[in-house]
Amino acid sequence: APEGETHYRKALEAGLLKVMAKMGISCVDSYRGAQVLEALGLGAEVMEICFPAVPSHIGGADLTDIERMALPRLVEAPALADHGRVRFRKAGEHHAYNPLAVRAAQKAARENDHAAYLEWRRLSSMGDPQSLRELLHIKPAQQPLPLDEIEPSTEIVKRFVSTAMSLGALSPEAHEALAIAMNQIGARSNSGEGGEDPATYDDDGGRRDNRVKQVASARFGVTPRYLKRADELEIKIAQGSKPGEGGQLPGLKVTSLIARLRHAQPGMQLISPPPHHDIYSIEDLAQLIHDLKTVNPRARIGVKLVSEAGVGTIAAGVAKARADYILVSGHDGGTGASPLSSIKNAGVPWELGLAETQQVLVANRLRERVSLRTDGGLRSGRDIVIAALLGAEEFGFGTGVLVALGCDMARQCHLNTCPTGIATQRDDLRAKFEGRPEHVINHLFHIADETREHLAALGIATLDDAVGRVDLLEPAGESALDLSFILRESDASLPRRRTWIRNGDAPAPPPPTGVIDNSQRTVGAAFAASESRDYRGSAGQSFGAFIDEGMQLTLEGEAQDYVGKGMGGGVIVIRPFADDASPDPVLAGNTICYGATGGRLFVAGRVGERFCVRNSGATAVVEGAGDHFCEYMTGGVAVALGAVGWNAGAGMTGGVAYLTEWRQLNADSVIARDVPEEDEAELHALVQEHHRRTGSSRAGAMLEDWQVALATFRQVVPVARVQAQAAPEPAAETSVENVPKTAA
């Protein structure tokens, strides 16, 4: 039927658009023939005929196998059924976290019952192999070691990390319980990309915040204080379960607390940009690492990558960019709120990415510089040992620690209806949270104890000695898959694990004042509060990045990209050289005030593209800007006294902008209106301050005839904000009794 054809075409086009967006491709011509994919479980015959030049590292099914699987379905023509691909179904596919296994895991965690842990291991691994590591056999030593000669569990757990899960995705109670548990045993928890409540920074009775603090593309909650508090700072390039997509937090989970921590508007959906807008190359990544080492010289800097073909080459660049650790994240596990298409069709197992990364780093003599970390479905001591043999020194757990806290795999993470109070912000459901830090501790010690047993069987005393020993792995029996790519051995004469304390020293301090040049980067990030410094010249990248309250930087001249990135307070002033006669000077580069949460910026000239991208609290005045003005902005004020480029306001959900000229606003996100009478004084005061601080002739001319100038301005505000103001009062929240029951 014509209607069916229309729906079918619409679905295909939506899927194509989704994949193009994930891969950063803007037009179909660039996508056609790009082969931005890899295969998992398809043999050489199929690849040669259907997908020439596409990687398929482990081989697999041939055409005969595919025919054998497909024909019965065509003959039977079954009705559309739920095969349990996401939620567990009795007649569906096997789930490691099936209801019986979850019950056993929680009994083991709550009662510290090792027999229940063994039952959980049995139930979770029943049936056909579910992962590549289940096709591998660990070679036992001819002379095993006694357990009392093996590295103790108290040391092994220090290598464990609870993976990045944000405050917002998780309830405050669950988020804090994870942090407390990991801190108590010397392990690490990861904040995720939502920031943290500073109330947890008191340390009374033990540390309650996350030792690993994530810096993601949206920079939600990334303040100078947040960065300086971290033991490790992790730059998230992508998520294992949905590479190519930014994080998403539904508006119904953005409570007043979450909005305050993320510097956003309550009730507004929060979408992270797919890329970091200050990272378009390895050199840009090196700059961000430099920025973070400047603002917090004692923190280890890590980079989170996803397992994919070619990840080893990327990891080599990351090591050269002076990261201290690299996380290779697998497709399994991951956020419970990922789209189904991403959960099932994006990313590959960590075994492939970790093996490739280890091989490339060793071959290029870079392995000793960095630690390797992996995550994505790790569940047992056996998993830990296999990951170590493939090259990992540190190990991340996500789903497992949430199950220990009470998660029953209801798969409602995105609906704000989590029945156990873990993945919800609703007060009535949060009250049902029964997890305790000791539950997580018990779970991790069970895994560490099992790890020791495997090390003893291998005749290896410590995990350090196991790292990179791929020679101790072999295929487990007959298989149609070719595991030689994973089991490829590196040169044994080269280092297989990290030996350097730090991959590069902390940056040199900037000049106190005076002449500056573009070799001097990230000036201001390391300054103390209440400092005021004046410079003249061409400042390098990240001038004024991460400055805080009480600081003031004044520059006569020009600056490169990332001015005021992540600033949380203070003032930045840039004016042209005194002898600059240009009527419309360009004084700063791209991505100004990226992720800023406070402070004030005044530039007496034009700036580049993506001005105030993800601004969430800064006030900034410039005299013109490039494309994508105020993209993804959630708070603050931006004023342009001159023309701005295309796509202004795209993804903007908060804050306000004032423009005099523009080529095209993003009509899906923002509207332009006359400046409301109640806001005229704010705009006038900002133009006055801009003139006073910079001596701008353009601002001066506007102030001479303010009513005429005011008529040229338009106030740009988010469509969502206007709609919310016009909407009726929301109904009372649904009670827990009315939440639909969903099978585990």
* Distance (Å, whole) CA 586 – CA 588: 6
Flag whether pLDDT at 241 surpasses 80. Answer: no
Question: Mean pLDDT across the chain, nearest whole number?
Answer: 91
DSSP string, 411-461: --GGGT--TTSSS---HHHHTT----HHHHHHHHHHHHHHHHHHHHHHT-S
Quote the pLDDT of residue 384: 98
| Domain spans in the chain, listed from the N-terminal domain onward | 2-75, 109-475, 514-726
Residue 85 pLDDT level (bands cut at 50, 70, 90): low
Instruction: Report residue 90 as tokens.
Output: 């009795």
Would the pLDDT of 181 be above 60? yes
Helix axes 381-389, 350-363, angle to 10 degrees: 30
Tens digit of each residue's pLDDT (9 = 90 or more) over 512-522? 778 999 999 99
Instruction: For residue 359, report the phi and psi dihedrals to the nearest 5 degrees.
Output: -65, -45
C-alpha–C-alpha distance, residues 530 and 131, integer Å? 55
pLDDT reading at 729 higher than 60: no
Q: What are phi and psi of 688, to 5 degrees?
A: -60, -45
**Per-residue model confidence (pLDDT) at position 93:** 75
Q: Write the CATH number of the domain with boundaries 514-726.
A: 2.160.20.60
Residue 730 is predicted with a pLDDT of: 44
Structure tokens at 564: 């005021």
696 CB-near residues (< 8 Å, 6+ apart) = 575, 604, 623, 641, 690
Lowest mean pLDDT among 66-80, 290-304, 639-653, 671-685: 66-80
pLDDT score at 737:
35
At residue 504, the pLDDT reads 82
* CA atoms of 481 and 57, how far apart (whole Å): 9
Distance CA 707, CA 688 (A): 14
What is the SS3 assignment for 344? helix
Show the tokens assigned to 161. Answer: 């990390």
In angstroms, rounded to a whole number, what is the distance separating the alpha carbons of residues 28 and 10?
16
Q: Assign 714 to helix, strand or coil.
A: strand
pLDDT at 240: 65
Span 181-205, average pLDDT: 93
What pLDDT does residue 138 have? Answer: 96
Q: What is the pLDDT of residues 681-692, one digit of tens each?
A: 999 999 999 999
Cα distances from 396 to residues 63, 165, 328, 380, 426, in angstroms, run 37, 12, 10, 11, 28
In the sheet where 714-718 sits, what is the strand order?
514-516, 532-539, 552-559, 568-575, 598-603, 616-622, 634-648, 654-665, 714-718, 670-673
The mean pLDDT of 311-322, rounded to a whole number, is 97
pLDDT > 90 in the chain, percent: 74
**Burial class, 743, CB count within 10 angstroms (exposed 0-12 / middle 13-18 / buried 19+):** middle
Are 109-475 and 514-726 in the same CATH fold? no
Range with the lowest mean pLDDT among 149-153, 311-315, 414-418, 718-722? 718-722
**Cα within 13 Å of Cα(680), Cβ side:** 12
Q: What is the CATH number of domain 109-475?
A: 3.20.20.70
Kindly tell me if the per-residue pLDDT of 97 is higher than 90. no
What per-residue confidence (pLDDT) applies to 273?
84
Euclidean distance between CA atoms 338 and 350, whole angstroms: 18
Give the separation between CA 572 and CA 624, rounded to whole angstroms. Answer: 17
Phi-psi region of 542 (alpha: psi -120 to 50; beta: other; left: phi over 0): left
Find the mean pLDDT for residues 366-393. Answer: 97
**How much of the chain, in percent, has pLDDT values that exceed 70?**
92
Other C-beta atoms lying within 10 Å of the C-beta of residue 340: 9
What is the reported pLDDT for 203? Answer: 76
In the predicted model, is pLDDT for residue 743 greater than 70? no
- CA angle at 296 for the pair 293 and 297, rounded to the nearest 5°: 60
Lowest-pLDDT choice from 33-37, 52-56, 563-567, 705-709: 33-37
Which 8-state DSSP code applies to residue 174? H
Task: List the one residue out of 486, 237, 500, 501 whose CA is nearest residue 358.
Answer: 486
If phi > 0 it is left, if psi is from -120 to 50 it is alpha, else beta; for residue 24 that is: left
pLDDT digits (tens, 9 = 90+) for 483-538: 999 999 999 999 999 999 888 876 777 777 789 999 999 999 988 777 899 999 99
Would the pLDDT of 77 be above 80? no
For the residues of 193-218, what is the DSSP string, one character each?
GG---GGGGG-TTS--S-SEEEE-TT
What's the rounded mean pLDDT across residues 81-91? 65
- Has residue 671 got a pLDDT over 90? yes
Per DSSP, the residues of 84-117 read: -SSS--TTS---TT-HHHHHHHHHHHHHT-HHHH
pLDDT of residue 341: 66
For the residues 619-640, what does the mean pLDDT come to?
Answer: 97
Question: Is the per-residue pLDDT at 132 higher than 70?
Answer: yes
What is the predicted pLDDT for the residue at 373?
A: 98
pLDDT band (50, 70, 90) for residue 405: very high
What single-letter amino acid sits at 16?
L
- Return d(Cα 48, Cα 89) in angstroms, integer: 36
pLDDT reported for residue 338? 64
Whose CA is closest to 521, among 510, 529, 532?
Answer: 510
Predicted TM-score (pTM) of this structure = 0.90
Query: CA gyration radius for the chain?
Result: 27
Question: Residue 120: which pLDDT band, with cuts at 50, 70 and 90?
Answer: very high
What is the structure's pLDDT at 738? 37
What sign does the dihedral 351-352-353-354 (CA atoms) show? Answer: positive
Cβ distance 136 to 483 under 8 Å? yes
Spatial separation of the C-alpha atoms in residues 361 and 468, rounded to whole Å? 11
Q: Above 90 in pLDDT, residue 79? A: no
Rounded Cα gap, residues 504 and 514, in angstroms: 28
Closest CA to 695 of 598, 593, 576, 590: 576
